[in-house]
């Protein structure tokens, strides 16, 4: 048996999953610990491997989200996965968090990803372009592109303006929370592996508009 490992530390805590990559009916195991920190990543992986009756040597590909997201989370997640792949026994794939979340939709056509960066500001992905923008600009993008499917977090769902757009156009909504990381498998064919990954530390202050 060989396995793919998925690691996401760009959102709350650590999400980690193992997917058997060489079977018609693959074994899939996932764990989510919203309170976890980087130092617990090894223990989470050990627990997954034990449940799968597998060893680290059977993991041949590792996919990690590189942001945008939590600064400390990204730093520890990327470093942990680089360490797993340092020996060269497995390939490392770094993917944009927004691109990964986009995979939760059934199609990328007319689909936008909108997650909270801070109050009044959002990280978005639409037509392959990623942005850090204010609420008004989010609505402008959605309306101009006739977006009919949104992958969102709880903050976007509770935002009055974004919720109003969803209701107005009867957009399909996919909450990023609770979606299986196994849906990211399609990105192995879209991203080149590299043993060195650079986290996307988007800092809102860099994007402040000049007066």
Q: Does residue 203 register a pLDDT over 60?
A: no
Q: Does residue 201 register a pLDDT over 80?
A: no
Q: Which residue range(s) make up the domain with 118? A: 105-175
**Residue 157's domain is classified under what CATH number?**
3.30.420.10
pLDDT band, residue 205 (cuts 50/70/90): very low
**Quick check: 162 and 156 in contact, CB under 8 A?**
yes
Quick one: 78 and 143 in the same domain? no
Quick one: 166 and 184 in the same domain? no
pTM of the model: 0.93
Quick one: 73 and 154 in the same domain? no
Quick one: 156 and 194 in the same domain? no
Give the Å distances, CA to CA, from 66 to 13, 36, 72, 138, 159: 14, 17, 11, 22, 26
Quick one: 54 and 140 in the same domain? no
Report residue 115: phi and psi, to 5°.
Answer: -130, 155
Quick one: 111 and 28 in the same domain? no
């Amino acid at each position: 048996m060989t396995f793919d490992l998925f690691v996401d530390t760009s959102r709350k805590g650590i999400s980690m999953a193992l997917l058997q990559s060489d079977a018609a009916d693959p074994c899939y195991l996932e764990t989510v610990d919203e309170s976890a920190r980087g130092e617990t990543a090894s223990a989470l992986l050990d627990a997954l491997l034990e449940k799968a009756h597998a060893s680290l040597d059977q993991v041949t590909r590792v996919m990690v989200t590189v942001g945008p997201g939590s600064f400390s989370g990204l730093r520890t997640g990327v470093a942990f996965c680089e360490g797993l792949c340092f020996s060269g026994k497995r390939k490392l794939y770094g993917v944009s968090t927004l691109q990964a979340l986009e995979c939760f939709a059934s199609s990328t056509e007319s689909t936008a990803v909108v997650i909270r960066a801070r109050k009044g500001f959002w990280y978005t992905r639409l037509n392959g372009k990623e942005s850090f923008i204010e609420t008004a600009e989010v609505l402008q993008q959605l309306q101009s592109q006739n977006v009919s499917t949104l992958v969102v977090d709880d903050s976007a769902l509770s935002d009055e303006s974004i919720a109003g757009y969803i209701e107005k156009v009867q957009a399909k909504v996919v909450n990023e929370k609770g979606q299986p990381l196994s849906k990211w498998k399609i990105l192995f064919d879209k991203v080149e592996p590299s043993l060195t990954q650079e986290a996307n530390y988007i800092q809102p202050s860099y994007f402040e508009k000049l007066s």
